Structure 1
């Protein structure tokens, strides 16, 4: 565990140095400098791995390559591309079926954002929402792949396979999910994902982030193992990032909605993330059954 602990500490140290430094400097989430810090942070897991591999190449090895292997794994790439959109849609349906009063086709969130930036409503909010949905299921996952690649090199390419050699699949996924979720802690405490006014701040946010990272981590590792390529989880990760905010477009931006952001409609929410969690548990159960049959 020594080499793994060193990797975790380096990944945390470099990312937290950026995020906490910006926080202390008064940089708010959403500002250009904060967005730059988030982008750099996504590449820290890969940077930490690269540093340690440069020091000792024998101890630090990736469990997946950079070849696409598309011919044998094309169906997993399709799943990575559009599966997150389907899971996000199911989570939105579940959330708005329970909280019907929060659903709106007036796209008030877009109107509010335009007003806050001083932009005039020259384009219909419905049209902007449609463009957002189209981008989320077409080109946005592909663009996001290159940003998500930095995390996937570290968490899926190195960390999870290393833990899996020492622990069961469930234990390895739980540890990876915990490490990955707490890695986000400095920006989550600033309001990333849930804002600052949700119920149970900040502890419920920590729990929700762990459940989400555990759930999506299982899917990310699964597509990586099936394709043998680091690009497959990077694409899936990019697709999740592209779709995560779609539910908010259809939500009334009331104080009640902000307080309930911990539940949804983003797939990171405790309620709207249930379809993702159930799918992940089904995959994990199938993997554990296959492992038991091989013993």
Structure 2
């Protein structure tokens, strides 16, 4: 019980601590690649990604047509892959992330499982990079791919970069995401191993199911449902950096929390929140049960 109480108190402090770190970083940190903080431009995105997003917003667009413009990793599990960023943008973003990692700025933990990485909200990259990525490109894609999972109603996200390296995190246990949908993009560097593996949906796991393994390719993003059980195989050599965006739809999670599978009991929160919203007034809150 003492450990549970300590964890509850830690989570209650997360919002205020994140806001304090973001304010300090904004006032004191000096980027090495300042252009990555500019509003997302088409030049940073892979032509295949732009083409898929453009098709998704065209009159008469449908799932069959979209699937011709991306790779279907597993039709049964509804896992897809396509290039997202250009190689130069991946390199520039990675250089900025490494510069921040080596600075003396405070750094929040990406999530409860990953110990190394960067929260893009705290670094100041949410507004110029991730929000337009979600609103302009990912939402129309997801609306066709996952209409039953809130793909057309994505209204918030949590974005972070995770790092795997010798002497640090090398693998990730099987889990599901606090998201309706997830984008996972390999940014670099040179590495071996560390494949992503997928099981069933966590609501209906099967002991007989054989995991599906997907190798990471720099610049390419993997799209999957947040409830899909998945994990990362052990890293072999090198370093692997991945941008992970948990995409959230309050219209879905307001009815059923994706973590506890119950109707959420919302509590006020000073931080970025978990994608839940109250109808009156409109605010972002967290579920009291997670």
Determine if the TM-score, normalized by the shorter chain, exceeds 0.5.
no
More helix by share: 1
Q: TM-score range by the shorter chain?
A: 0.3 to 0.5
**TM-score where L is the length of structure 2:** 0.34
**TM-score where L is the length of structure 1:** 0.33
- Which gives a bigger RCO, structure 1 or 2 (Cα 8 Å, sep 6+)? 1
